[in-house]
Amino acid sequence: MSETRRRRRAEGRAKAYQQARRLGWLFSVLVTVAVLCLVFFVWLFPTRIMDGSMAPALKSGEVVLCDRLGKFLRMPERGDIVLFQTQDGLFVKRIVGMPGETIELVGGHVFINSIPLDESSYVVEYVGDMKPVEIPAGCVFLLGDNREEMYDSRLESVGPVPFTDIVGMLRLRVSPIDRLTCFS
């Protein structure tokens, strides 16, 4: 084989390898974009907290990531913070009562089946009274941590919230970055 043919063959291989590397990068970028779209359009979605009803745990203006699929993998439990849908919009509250329980508020303190619920880790002010309410099957009772802000299950228009109305479970506070927190 002549020197010229060898050189042309080597240059051809170098061009083919260079094109393969470019295609590899393009493929990597496309896969990354697809995975990010899957994560942020199907699994997690950002939500901005608009009021102080969950203070001090969540403050107005903070951004959290909500997990759409979490409620299908694990049944929401007492203490979980969830995003739920009503005719008035989307709201973020904490689950305090589970199906089949009787819940009442006395002096702002929650009693479940006449047993006090320890909320000292997230409630600052205890306000309000509420007559006993039995939570139907397939529903949960939601309250905000800031009990003075009252758009939660205490209202007759909201009441116990069906599991089907729970849009997602809060997983991560992403903004402000100095308050980055993972919610279980």
Lowest-pLDDT range of 2-11, 78-87, 144-153: 2-11
pLDDT, tens digit (0-9, with 9 covering 90-100), for 112-133: 999 999 988 888 777 888 999 9
Sketch the domain layout of the chain as residue ranges. Answer: 1-44, 49-182
Give pLDDT, residue 136. 96
- What would the mean pLDDT of 83-107 be, rounded to a whole number? 92
- Measured distance CA(95)–CA(87) in Å, rounded: 19
- Measured distance CA(174)–CA(40) in Å, rounded: 13
pLDDT, tens digit (0-9, with 9 covering 90-100), for 153-174: 888 889 999 999 999 999 889 8
CA dihedral of 128, 98, 86, 172, whole degrees rounded to 10 = 100
The rounded percent of the chain whose pLDDT value lies above 90 is 35
Q: Which CATH number fits domain 49-182: 2.10.109.10, 1.10.3720.10, 3.30.450.20, 3.30.70.260?
A: 2.10.109.10
